[in-house]
Amino acid sequence: MRSRSVHQAALDVLMRVEPDDKCRATDALLADWRAGVLPAVPAGNDTEAVREAGRPPRPELVPPQQVPLRKAGSVEGHAALLHAIAHIEFNAINLALDCVHRFRALPADFHDGWLVVAAEEAYHFRLVRERLRSLGFDYGDFPAHNGLWEMACKTADDPLARMALVPRVLEARGLDATPPIMAKLRAIGDRDSVAVLEIILRDEIGHVALGDRWFRILCAERGLEPEATYLKLIDAFDAPRPRPPLHVEARRAAGFSEAELAGFGAKAPSVTRPQ
């Protein structure tokens, strides 16, 4: 009997609905892969793209402009802020699993990287959900939008576009947004959530760097100049261009070049001249 592939196993976890079940299954998937139980199948992207990943009935999904804005100073606003982060992390599990399921023609190193990302995103989700529960709320208690997953659907036919527009655009925006969120949480005395965001920021630099690495590999295989191609894909898919303020150090660590950062409006690094 033929063994189930890592791609089939990733699809099974991707379609799981209950968050705790999905997180446990993601951890087990990585362990099985590392143990050699699940082979990669060197074949084309011959599966239909997943258009709706497994997710619980709540939160209610609404257009981004309909997600209410709340001030973090109130308990409800504090919880809504954490809920938005939890929702991003839950979606990020699905995005990483979809890479493994969908882009099976890519090398085993690609699948290994995104399985690690999926497990780290599951860890992040659990950390943020614990903080949310400490305030008397839970995942699903606030409306959310589906922008991350919608971009996964738009880029389902091309791993180059996926690497450009999910890790290098949408997830990189998280690098920029995290320090201001941490400042808001410090201002209301939530040091425990700040500590969680420090973990998330550290790991997310690695996730964006993984996307950057594979974006550049795929560009090289196709004879494309990466940075010009990146801008063309942003325009072609109507994705948001990076806008200041940027977390320049995090973006630099994730693989963005000085020319790119300058093109996005980032200030050039200061140079200390010898006396």
DSSP per residue, 223-274? T--HHHHHHHHHHHTTPPPP-SS--HHHHHHTT--HHHHHHTTPPPPP-PPP
Percent of all residues in the chain with a pLDDT value above 90, rounded to a whole number: 87
| Average pLDDT rounded to a whole number, residues 139-160 | 96
Q: Which range has the worst mean pLDDT, 34-48, 81-95, 236-250?
A: 34-48
> What is residue 256's predicted lDDT score, i.e. its pLDDT?
98
Q: What is the mean pLDDT of the chain?
A: 93
Structure-model confidence comparison of residues 249 and 71, the more confident one: 249
Peptide bond into 59 cis (omega under 30): yes
pLDDT at 47: 66
pTM given for the model: 0.94
Question: Does pLDDT of 42 surpass 90?
Answer: no
Mean pLDDT of 242-250: 96
Dist CA 14 CA 9 (whole Å) = 9
pLDDT band at 275 (very low <50, low <70, confident <90, very high): very low
pLDDT at 48: 74
pLDDT of res. 49: 83
Cα separation, 102 vs 150, whole angstroms: 15
